[in-house]
Amino acid sequence: MQDAIDALGARIAENSYILVGKGGCIMTYPIDFGKTMNIVAINSSYDQWEGPWVVSASFSKISQEFAEWGTHAQSIIKLLDRPETLAWSMWDHPPAPTYYTGNVAMMGDAAHASTPFQVTHTQEPIRK
């Protein structure tokens, strides 16, 4: 988070933002009770995904894919120049014809695919 604050300022680093551009988007939001700024950079230029669903990301490839985006986006993308940055494949599937059989029903994420970054805002843990 400190790297994000240094690069973007606390107002942006400590809140949720989305930048939308041609063929993609960049989302940022705090996780780990505000200790970490998560970054999701989506590029829709892939026709196919080869290999495992999650792989180590190539920073040079990420920076190339977002090279035409503005200064603010570039500041965020530079934060991804870390060995722990991962690339995730994202899949879509047609809706099932039904989500129930007899008196058993699937609900929530079991009944539909969701992207890995659809989260609620971080809250402090409940203390008893």
**Residue 115's pLDDT is what?**
56
Q: How many percent of the chain have pLDDT more than 90?
A: 54
For all residues of the chain together, what is the average pLDDT? 83
Q: Is the pLDDT of residue 108 over 80?
A: no
Provide the pLDDT for residue 116. 52
**pTM as predicted:** 0.72
Cα-based distances in Å from 98 to 92, 104, 111, 114, 128: 17, 11, 9, 17, 41
Query: Is residue 63 exposed (0-12), middle (13-18) or buried (19+ Cβ within 10 Å)?
Result: middle
Q: Does residue 63 register a pLDDT over 60?
A: yes
Q: Are strands 86-88 and 54-56 parallel, antiparallel or unpaired?
A: antiparallel
Distance CA 87, CA 59 (A): 10
